[in-house]
Amino acid sequence: MSTRGQAELFLLSVTLIWGTTFVATKLILSHISPFLYVVIRFSLASIIFAVLTWKNVRVTTVGAAQKGFFLGVLLFTGFALQTIGLEYTTASKSAFVTGMLVVFTPLCQILIEKRAPKLGNIVGVILVTAGLFFLTSPKGSEFNFGDALTLGCALCFALYIVCLDIFTKEHDAAQLTLIQFATAAVGGGLMAGTFEHTWIELHPTLIWWVLYLTVAATVVAIYVQTKYQKETTPTRAAVIFSVEPVIAAVFAYFVLGEVLGVLGILGGGLIVAGVLVSELS
């Protein structure tokens, strides 16, 4: 298998992990305020990752620190806009608008890297976008403030994917990853102190899921993305990441009993078809 093929398998495995985080987050937010959860998750991730990669990160360069900080700001801003946006819009609309990162990514790739995606990648993006619409079945009133914030979230994530493609070719992946975690933790603290009344209820559900989200969905997943995404293109990576809501829907069915209707199944099929078209192009 080619280097790109191996890297894309790693990215797909990361997507499988992220697909479970929607249910996990929904379960724990009944026991903790949102931004306090972000602080705890990324602070623990910073400590664990620093211990595991100390030989690399103890000599973090100024360039890696600057680029890692920029990536961390994009990553955290995307999460923050999505979280605040959910207070003003429906969950289904939020899921669909966030998924628009698959459309923004090739546009950012053209503007920033001056590199256009292949025709097959574009067809894949179109199929994935249609699939996202059917899968999420976005309901709600006209475009509102929450949707605008969520659109900003999608743009942040698209910029993150493209910038990650550039920065990881110049700097050590471990150094970039640790700075991202630390930046997100500080950002969470600033938001928690400014915008929310922080609270926490210690509960086994909270403890176990926070540990899972910290280790699997943060330490492992974000490091894998940072290390391997550079072996493919931003557009192909975004199309692969679009499988996330499909995994989320399946996981929600088994854990929460949420039923995926006919349109949802059609949407999931279109997303998978879009990924295959993009991969085989």
The pLDDT value given to residue 140: 67
The pLDDT value given to residue 208: 95
Query: Average pLDDT, whole number, for the chain?
Result: 89
The pLDDT value given to residue 79: 84
Query: In the predicted model, is pLDDT for residue 279 greater than 80?
Result: no
Query: In the predicted model, is pLDDT for residue 277 greater than 90?
Result: no
Angle of CA points 266, 267, 272, to nearest 5°: 100
Range picked from 106-120, 130-144, 148-162 for highest mean pLDDT = 148-162
Q: What is the mean pLDDT of residues 168-185?
A: 96
Lowest pLDDT segment from 211-215, 229-233, 261-265: 261-265
Query: In the predicted model, is pLDDT for residue 29 greater than 70?
Result: yes
Q: What CA–CA distance (Å, rounded) separates 107 from 179?
A: 27
Query: In the predicted model, is pLDDT for residue 190 greater than 90?
Result: yes
End-to-end CA distance of the chain: 16
Query: In the predicted model, is pLDDT for residue 141 greater than 70?
Result: no
- Structural domain count, the chain: 1
Query: In the predicted model, is pLDDT for residue 212 greater than 90?
Result: yes
Q: What is the mean pLDDT of residues 174-183?
A: 97
Residue span of the structural domain in which 122 resides: 3-280
Inter-CA distances, 176 with 33, 55, 129, 234, Å: 28, 14, 30, 18
- Above pLDDT 90, what percent of the chain? 56
Q: What is the mean pLDDT of residues 56-61?
A: 93
Query: Taking the complete model, does pTM exceed 0.85, yes or no?
Result: yes
Query: In the predicted model, is pLDDT for residue 265 greater than 70?
Result: yes
Lowest pLDDT segment from 47-56, 124-133, 201-210: 124-133
The pLDDT value given to residue 108: 92
pLDDT confidence tier of residue 143, bands split at 50, 70 and 90: confident
The pLDDT value given to residue 139: 72
Contacts of residue 243, Cβ cutoff 8 Å, sequence gap at least 6: 12, 15, 16, 19, 271, 272, 275
Lowest pLDDT segment from 23-27, 81-85, 140-144, 240-244: 140-144
At how many degrees (to 10) do helices 91-98 and 62-85 cross?
150
